[in-house]
Each structure stands twice: as structure tokens, then as C-alpha cells.
Amino acid sequence: MQRFLAGSALLQNEPLVEEILNTVVKAVPIPVTLKTRLGWNDEHKNISTIAKIAEQAGIAALAIHGRTRTQMYNGEAQYDLIAEIKQSVNLPIWANGDITSPQKAVQVLQQTGADGIMIGRGAQGQPWLFADIQYFLQHHELPEKMRFQAACDVILAHLAAMHDFYGDVGGVRIARKHIGWYLARVPHSADFRKQFNQIDNPNAQLDKLSAFLQTYSSEYEFWWRDY
Ligand SMILES: Cc1cc2nc3c(=O)[nH]c(=O)nc-3n(C[C@H](O)[C@H](O)[C@H](O)COP(=O)(O)O)c2cc1C
């Protein structure tokens, strides 16, 4: 990314950001949203300038990851600056970074005043996180954990959908990381994950995973969660 001055490396060139945003917003008939980080590094947190540029360009919503480019994924996301941006521009703001639970989602929404949140890694292996957050926002308590069988149904449907969407070769490969994320919370699953990663056929992936999951079904009523 840095070699091409694309993605968050673009934060170093504000006039170019302005030119790109103005051009794209004018060129397409649909709302254009922007996602970026707080800045290039700790000395150059230029998100407030970028937010003003975005507002003037007619960007429809701005998602902000609470880290700088050089931070990569180290340390914890910072939300203070996102709160400041929310106050300083008239633009829907979505807060992003390290939101992995309903409790954290509420904390970030309160701390930033953001209009919404964006979630990446937190949803890996638990796509029901979004529904859990919605429930927590409405009821101020966590929902019941996913029932074991309901979670299995989601996981197997997700696996079949990956085969359909990416094709047999790509789907089998991409499924390995997703199934790895699901099984990361399942006790004593490391050996099976290694075996699963050797399978190169979609039906065999489905059959082996289904059989593996069923070995837990008499013992566990609920799927595992860490919030
Ligand atoms: C596998 C992966 C791919 C990503 N791809 C992009 C991308 O194409 N564009 C982007 O702006 N951010 C991308 N991100 C960054 C995320 O959108 C997000 O800002 C970052 O992971 C922090 O949020 P999180 O803590 O909820 O994961 C990616 C992150 C991951 C883990």
C-alpha cells in the first residue's frame, strides 16, 4: 500500500485526498463513504483536516479506525480523537477499532458520540456479534448465547456459501481461515483444524466439519463466547 501512496499512506498528501474525494463524489450517483485512520503517525494525526475535506467534498459518512498508520495493529485503538471529530464536522461518523463485544460497542458509542460503529476482526468466527450488539443496545443485557446447533447451522451454511461464491478451489482455501476462526473458541479443536486444512475438496470439508461438530453436540448446549 505504501509504495503506491494508497490506503492510509494517502494521509500524507492532503491535496490529493481532496482531489480524489471531489472527483469520486462528482463521478458517481450513489453516496460515497470514506474510511481512514487517525493519521500517519503520532506526530501527524491529521484526521481533523481529512474530516473537513471529506465534509466539503460531500462524503456521506466517515469511518475512523482509532489508530495511526505506523501503529499498524499494535496497542489499543484510541477513541478520544474520534469524539472530537464527531463534534467538529457535520458528517455521520462511524467509530472503528478493537470492538469485539456488545459491552465494548456501547462503551465506544458513548465515548465517541459516533453515529455508528464498524467492526472487522471482532466478527471473525462470530458473525452473530452484530445481532448480539443490537440486542444489548435495546435490552441493556446480553442475549442468551448461541445454541450449539444454531451455531453449527450458521457455520455449515457459511462454509457452503463460500464454496458457492468463490468456487471449489478458492472457496476451499478461503474457508480454512474462517473455520479456523470459528473453531478457535472450541476446546480441543487444534488437531482437527490441522486435518481440516489438508482437505482440498468442498464436500469433504462439509462432511468432516459436520461430523466433527456433532461429536460435541451431546456435551454442549451453547456455543462458546468470550463476552
Ligand atoms: C483481513 C482484513 C482486511 C482488511 N481490509 C481492509 C481494507 O481493504 N480497507 C480498509 O480500509 N481497511 C481494511 N481492514 C482494516 C479494518 O477495516 C479495520 O479498520 C481494522 O481491522 C480495525 O478494526 P477492527 O479492530 O474491528 O478489526 C482490514 C482488516 C482486516 C483484519
pLDDT at residue number 179: 98
pLDDT higher than 70, residue 5: no
Which stretches within 28-128 are classed as H helix? 47-57, 80-88, 102-112
Average pLDDT, integer, range 106-122? 98
* CA distance linking residue 33 with residue 133, whole number of Å: 23
* CA distance linking residue 73 with residue 46, whole number of Å: 19
Give the pocket of ligand 1 (CB within 6 Å): 35, 65, 96-99, 119-122
Ligand 1 pocket check: which of 35, 67, 78 to mutate, most ligand atoms within 8 Å of Cβ? 35
Fold of 2-139: TIM Barrel (3.20.20)
pLDDT, one tens digit per residue, over 89-111 is 999 999 999 999 999 999 999 99
- What is the distance between the terminal CA atoms of the chain, rounded to a whole angstrom? 34
pLDDT at residue number 8: 73
Q: Which amino acid is at 101?
A: S
* CA distance linking residue 136 with residue 103, whole number of Å: 8
Tally of CB atoms within 10 A around 101: 19
Show the cell assigned to 5: 501512496
pLDDT at residue number 158: 98
| Best CA proximity match to 208, nearest among 195, 219, 217, 220 | 195
Task: Please give the distance, rounded to the nearest whole angstrom, from the Cα atom of residue 58 to the centre of ligand 1.
Answer: 24
pLDDT higher than 60, residue 2: no
* CA distance linking residue 196 with residue 194, whole number of Å: 5
Task: Please give the distance, rounded to the nearest whole angstrom, from the Cα atom of residue 204 to the centre of ligand 1.
Answer: 31
pLDDT at residue number 157: 98
Find the helix or strand (DSSP H, E) in which 190 lies.
helix 190-196
pLDDT higher than 70, residue 6: no
pLDDT, one tens digit per residue, over 145-180 is 999 999 999 999 999 999 999 999 999 999 999 999
Minimal-distance CA residue to ligand 1 atom 3: 120
pLDDT higher than 50, residue 134: yes
